């Protein structure tokens, strides 16, 4: 398999893992209980979320490595680390590199979340949305063969990316609506009447 094709395949696998990881994270944010809801089994959603994050980080890191060995368009290590001067599509590749660094920050800080404290960890964890957005843009705009060809939105790889993006967008909108409904419910629910203290008439 050519190195560029291998890099593209690893990138698609990384995108799938990131999508699953973010979907699991959204389920955790609404206190999803797989025992009460589908699949009505004991499933450790938090553990799945953590492990998909670790594997996704490994896949995202491995994604550009084959380009070091491509005979047609070889990238240097510096061009992979910061592709601003990459031999092909530098801007699109730079977005992917920034997404990699953001994923690394999210995964590493999650591992040390107890030491960081809940507030700092949660704020840092929101970077996962920025990482996902950059990775989707990188995947959609980049020519998988690095030939600067016009975009084909109906290409099989692009359709896969588009499906992942729509899944994430739909789930994120549903999460925001869930949060708004909860906020409205708290505002509408009347406060319980206060009872007079003992001995007060």
Give the mean pLDDT per block of 10 residues along the chain (201 residues): 92 96 94 87 92 96 94 91 93 96 95 91 92 95 90 93 96 89 71 51 43
Q: Delimit the domains of the chain by residue range.
A: 3-175
Q: Are 122 and 109 in contact (CB under 8 A)?
A: no
What pLDDT score was predicted for residue 137?
96
- List the alpha helices (DSSP H) in 41-86: 45-62, 77-81
Q: How far apart are CA 140 and CA 121, in angstroms?
A: 30
pTM of the complete model: 0.85
Measure the N-to-C terminal CA separation of the chain; round to a whole number of Å: 86
φ, ψ for residue 23, nearest 5 deg:
-65, -40
How many CB atoms sit inside 10 A of residue 43's CB? 13
Residue 73, CB-side half-sphere exposure with 13 Å CA sphere: 16
What pLDDT score was predicted for residue 77?
95
Q: Per the structure block, which two tokens stand in for 160?
A: 């896969």
| Coil, strand or helix at 25 | helix
Angle separating helix axes 3-29 and 45-62, nearest 10 degrees? 160
The one-character DSSP state at 146 is: S
């Amino acid at each position: 398999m050519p190195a560029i094709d291998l890099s593209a395949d690893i990138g698609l696998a990384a995108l799938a893992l990131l999508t699953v990881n973010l979907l699991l994270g959204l389920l955790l944010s609404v206190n999803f209980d797989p025992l009460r809801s589908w699949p009505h089994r004991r499933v450790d959603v938090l553990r799945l979320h953590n492990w998909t994050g670790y594997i996704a980080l490994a896949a995202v890191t491995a994604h550009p490595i084959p380009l070091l060995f491509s005979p047609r368009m070889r990238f240097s290590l510096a061009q992979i680390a910061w592709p601003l001067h990459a031999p092909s599509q530098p801007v699109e590749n730079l977005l992917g590199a920034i997404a990699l660094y953001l994923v690394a920050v999210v995964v590493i800080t999650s591992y040390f979340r107890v030491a960081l404290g809940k507030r700092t960890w949660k704020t840092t964890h929101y970077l996962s949305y920025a990482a996902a957005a950059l990775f989707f843009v990188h995947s959609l705009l980049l020519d998988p063969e690095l030939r600067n060809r016009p975009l084909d939105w109906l290409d099989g790889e692009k359709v896969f990316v588009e499906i992942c993006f729509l899944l994430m967008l739909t789930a994120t909108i549903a999460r925001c609506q869930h949060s708004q409904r909860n906020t409205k419910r708290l505002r509408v629910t009347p406060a319980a009447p206060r009872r007079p203290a003992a001995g007060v008439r």
